[in-house]
Amino acid sequence: MPDFRPFPALRYASDIDLDLTLAPPYDVLSESDVEELHARDPYNITHIDVPENQDYALAGQLLKQWATEGVFVSDAQDTLSIYRLKFTDHEILGVLGGLEVVDDIPGASVLPHERTTPKASTDRLDLMRATSANTSPVWGLSLASGLTEALREPGEMARSVTVDGVTHTVERISDPVRIAAIRDILASDDVLLADGHHRYGVSRVYRDEVRAATGRTDTRAEQTLAFVNELVEDQLCLEAIHRLYSGVSPDVLRTGLVTCFTFSPVETVSDAILDEMVSSGRLVLLWPDGTAEWLTPRPGVFDRVRNLDGEWLEMALASTNAVVTYQHGLSEMMECVSSGDFTAGVLIRPTSIDEIRRTAREGLLMPPKSTFFTPKLLTGWVIRPTEPLPK
């Protein structure tokens, strides 16, 4: 079962304005986003997490400098942190701590939930080497019951910010008894990686480098910073990551799809269509000329295939050379398809909680980009050093 450990967290000092210094995760930021965040405040976390010109040595220097200057303050003892996300009438409640880094082998206690797309960039590894720290958390889903209730009681030193209608609140837990109770719950069942597969894989490489350099298996590199919440319906908010296809002609794409779907015209593509897709069990095919078609599964064709739209499309287009890329958001999809850079796009439905749970229990993997967990966690609440900072 997974080891989940407290640690002496680095946090922004109480006089630092979190509205100016926290940031969305690095992998959703455009270049212009990063420029704006860099300009927002000299202590914005992106100066470390997404350094200018990928200057990771500078990122490492800044982390040490800010800790020395008191911009960051270290907890005096090992702690965990409650992280609450409140929006509309919904609340997601999880805990920040150090999640054990395990090998990607059968029977591991930390499980991937989807196949990952290759990433040539080693920027997260370069950042970790330079800073000796985890700057942003992976997102894990605990299959254990009781975690949500264990986190309801407020912690210490609560700080909050509200971004795009979501209130993010982080509270420290220093009580050893409460920490032990939370750790026991998490140790009772597996953790499924929801977001941050690449960061977790990088943490595994970094762990192995530290083991090779020190000959030890008891350093802080044995864990990585993680947000973990319970895998239950009311603790998740899921959206779809849609598909864009290129590398084939419209005729080839249609020929592949027609083996598994029937086609019928869509009158209007609007936000309402996403709910209609879920209720009717259909997908939507978008063409560059602005037209759209319903994709209705042919009877029986997917009877032995998991109820995952990404898997259905992989099966339908397996005999083609279609190249798939991924895009979240309806308006973004419409813009991409109308640009003419793609043959077509397909809107898919969000993955169900049942399929996520099945993935974990049966040791299965979903197609790449099967889930989009929202709201996104903010970076900068907690930094987890992988070795003690110099005094």
pLDDT in tens, 303-353: 999 889 999 999 999 999 999 999 989 999 999 999 999 999 999 999 888
**Are the C-beta atoms of 198 and 124 separated by less than 8 Å?**
yes
Tokens coding 358: 């099945």
How far is it, in rounded angstroms, from Cα 287 to Cα 35?
34
State which H helix or E strand residue 385 sits in.
Answer: strand 384-385
What pLDDT was estimated at residue 239? Answer: 85
SS3 127: helix
What pLDDT was estimated at residue 355? Answer: 84
SS3 377: coil
What pLDDT was estimated at residue 340? Answer: 94
The stretches in the chain having pLDDT less than 70 are: 117-121, 390-391
What pLDDT was estimated at residue 244? Answer: 98
How far is it, in rounded angstroms, from Cα 13 to Cα 69?
10
> Looking at this protein, which amino acid is placed at residue 319?
S
What pLDDT was estimated at residue 121? Answer: 60
What pLDDT was estimated at residue 283? Answer: 98
How far is it, in rounded angstroms, from Cα 113 to Cα 18?
32
Contacts of 331 (CB under 8 A, 6+ apart): none
Tokens coding 117: 């797309």
pTM above 0.85, yes or no: yes
Sign of the torsion angle spanned by Cα atoms 144, 149, 150, 155: positive
**Are the C-beta atoms of 25 and 137 separated by less than 8 Å?**
no
**255-303 pLDDT, tens digit each:** 999 999 999 999 999 989 999 999 999 999 999 999 999 999 999 999 9
What pLDDT was estimated at residue 118? Answer: 63
* Residues 184-187: contacts with CB under 8 Å, at least 24 apart: 185/142, 185/144, 185/146, 185/147, 185/150, 186/1, 186/2, 186/4, 186/142, 186/144, 186/147, 186/228, 187/1, 187/2, 187/3, 187/4, 187/144
